[in-house]
Chain A
Amino acid sequence: MAQGQAALLLLADGRLPAGGYAHSGGLEPTVQAGRVSDAAGLEQFLVGRAETTGFVAAVFAAAACERAVRDDIAALSALESELDARTPSPELRSVSRTLGRQLLRVMSTIHPHPHFALLGTAPHQPVVMGVAAAALGLGPRDAALAILHESVAGPAAAAAKLMRIDPFDVHAALARATERLDRLADAAANHADAPASELPSRGAPLSDIAAEHHRSWNVRLFAS
């Protein structure tokens, strides 16, 4: 059995008080636009998210973890700017930094580590996840898996509030996605020691556009 499983569960648990519950991972504008309306559509959305922006986040979390394990915190700023470059929507860049700041606030309180003070005020969430994983004794693949888990579990939890859907169907989709998430975490971890500029840049342009629309709404259930 791998070491650190309990620490990974702590980090990936949606109940960790890091404010993730206020976000739908882009599901709210997608449902509103009529692009997802049933369980099958939700499953495609979740798979798409894991394979694109989820995977990129996982790669950056793995890379951040690898650098934190080596105590090379200076190398994280290159990850920050490369992740900015892979996130066209200003809104999504801002959301990632807000969630990163919240995760940093929690982790530096519940599990203090000298690295946390070196991350700046609002680092990207995957970068914080990578550094937090390292602080908990976890490795790049763990950091990648934690981010991948959140990238689908967040919108899945929001689905019950946004759509007419059976919560069991939602979790059935998550259950079917587990092998995929493991595979993606392996693939993300393989990039962990690559130079920041060489990291993959998969994208989902419509989700960037949807995030910008969502920001302009006067009435919305979720912050993103």
Chain B
Amino acid sequence: MAKTTPPNEHRALRIGVAGPVGTGKSSVIATLCRSLSDEFVIGVITNDIYTDEDARFLRSEGVLPAERIRAVETGACPHTAIRDDVTMNLIAIEDLERDFAPLDIVLVESGGDNLTATFSPALIDAQLFVLDVAGGGDVARKGGPGIGGADLLVINKVDLAEHVDVDVEQMVTDAEKAREGRPVLAISRKRPETTSQLCDWVRQLHRAYADGSHAPVDPGPMAPHFHATDDGSHVHSHGGGHTHHQHGHE
């Protein structure tokens, strides 16, 4: 695809963090900053829907110098700001990279949205999608572009699983199935061994980005999947160009 960003060999690795409201995106970012700030110079862009609450939370956590955390107001359209019209975020990232050069990593937090919102590859190099067990054990099975196609799926707050009757292992298995083998991590900030896996994933990603072997992927539209129909099963994809049949069975 045409790159919106001018080529810059020295720019930071840009990682998007997407997922529904309340699943712990800010907390994941706080964890990454806290654990990795000795190794990497990190900047953060938050996208809020009504406020700059997320930027304030991260500043109050003291995980980074406050000036390296900036908020973008998305006018009640958080999905647009990371996908269809990324200009505001692109400018915010470029400013941050310029003001604190050289940054190693910029984390971009999307305003919490629904399961279909993913980052445009014009904005970020890789993205993680955050779910939590409290949102329901069946969410991972539902798939969709974020769950199915993000570079990493994080299932957060696994310490709460027993209180909300969610079988974490099953949820991870469902997610792995929906993701066709792409990585899934079950984490809790109360279980350091799980968050260290997350940090390792970021370290590995940064190594791959630095040596040029990281290939950005776009979760994009929903992946092709099967529907059982009266005339047999067939594969199709939702979204653009999907005009060839009726869903008479639904």
Contact = CB atoms under 8 A, between A and B. Distances in A.
A105 B90 contact: yes
B4 A109 contact: yes
Interface residues of B, number: 18
Interface in A144-178: 158, 161
Contacts of B113: none
Given A17-B84, A18-B85, A221-B50, A161 B76 contact: yes
5 contacts: A15-B84, A18-B87, A19-B88, A219-B50, A221-B75
A223 B75 contact: yes
A22 B77 contact: yes
Contact of B76 (A15, A102, A222): A222
Interface of B: 4, 49-51, 73-77, 80-81, 84-88, 90-91
A155 B233 CA distance: 48
Max chain A Cβ within 10 angstroms of own Cβ: one of B4, B73, B84: B73
B87 A223 contact: no
A75 to B, nearest CB: 26
Interface of A: 15, 17-19, 21-24, 101-102, 105-106, 109, 158, 161, 218-223
Max chain A Cβ within 10 angstroms of own Cβ: one of B73, B75, B77: B75
Max chain B Cβ within 10 angstroms of own Cβ: one of A15, A19, A23: A19
Nearest to A16: B85
B223 to A, nearest CB: 25
Max chain A Cβ within 10 angstroms of own Cβ: one of B74, B84, B85, B87: B87
Contacts of A222: 73, 75-76
Nearest to A161: B76
A216 B80 CA distance: 25
A224 to B, nearest CB: 9
B70 to A, nearest CB: 13
A102 B73 CA distance: 14
A219 B48 CA distance: 10
Contacts of A161: 76
A105 B87 contact: yes
A18 to B, nearest CB: 6
Given A17-B84, A17-B87, 18 more contacts: A15-B84, A17-B85, A19-B88, A21-B75, A21-B77, A21-B85, A22-B73, A23-B75, A24-B75, A101-B91, A109-B4, A218-B51, A219-B50, A219-B51, A220-B50, A220-B73, A221-B76, A222-B73
Given A17-B84, A22-B81, A109-B4, A102 B75 contact: no
Contacts of B90: 105
Contacts of B75: 21-24, 158, 221-223
Contacts of A219: 50-51
Shortest beta-carbon contacts, A-B, top 9: A22-B75, A17-B85, A223-B73, A19-B88, A221-B76, A102-B87, A222-B75, A19-B87, A219-B50
A17 B91 contact: no
Nearest to B94: A105
Contacts of B4: 109
Contacts of B80: 21
A222 B76 CA distance: 7
A17 B123 CA distance: 13
A217 to B, nearest CB: 9
Contacts of A17: 84-87
B198 to A, nearest CB: 31
A110 to B, nearest CB: 9
A94 B81 CA distance: 20
Nearest to A222: B75
Nearest to A220: B50
A161 B80 CA distance: 15
Max chain B Cβ within 10 angstroms of own Cβ: one of A17, A219, A220: A17
A218 B85 CA distance: 24
Nearest to B73: A223
Contacts of B51: 218-220
Contacts of A109: 4
Nearest to A162: B76
